[in-house]
Amino acid sequence: SLDQAAGKIVDTIKRTGGDVSGPIPLPTEIEKVTVLKAVHKYKDSREQFETRTHKRLIDVKNPSKETIDALTHLDLPSGVDIEIKK
């Protein structure tokens, strides 16, 4: 779904006349949390959970106002966020 959303963003940029490069896959961020399975002792018995964050970089050169408006109002699936920086 991330690659589909990135394709949707690239199509929107091209449709509004923007010059785009990407999507470029960035390294996956992995956040690990270790918890004890037992309540009081048995420190050797642990369980690990991890959250993976996948990111794509889409570089827009010379964006128009129409391009920025289209990106801010773009309907993306849940779990996919867009961050616009200058």
Q: What is the pLDDT of residue 52?
A: 94
For 67, the domain range is: 2-72
Question: Which segments of 1-86 are extended strands (E)?
Answer: 19-36, 46-61
Q: Determine the pLDDT at residue 54.
A: 92
32-82 residue pLDDT tens: 999 998 888 888 889 999 999 999 998 888 888 888 888 888 888 888 888
18 Cβ contact list (under 8 Å, min separation 6): 60, 61, 62, 63, 64, 67
Decide if 84 is inside a domain. Answer: no
Does residue 12 form part of some domain?
A: yes
Overall number of domains in the chain: 1
The pLDDT tens digits of the residues spanning 16-28 come to: 888 888 789 999 9
Residue 83 lies in a domain: no
In this model, does residue 6 exceed pLDDT 80? yes
- On whether residue 62 sits in a domain, the answer given is yes
In a domain, 26, yes or no: yes
Q: Which two tokens stand for residue 29?
A: 């961020």
17 belongs to a structural domain: yes
**Residues in the chain, overall count:** 86
Give the HSE-up count for residue 5: Cα atoms under 13 Å, Cβ half-sphere.
16
CATH (domain of 25):
3.30.70.600
Query: Sign of torsion, CA 20 86 30 53?
Result: negative
pTM value > 0.85: no
The answer to whether residue 18 sits within a structural domain is yes
More confident residue, 86 or 48: 48
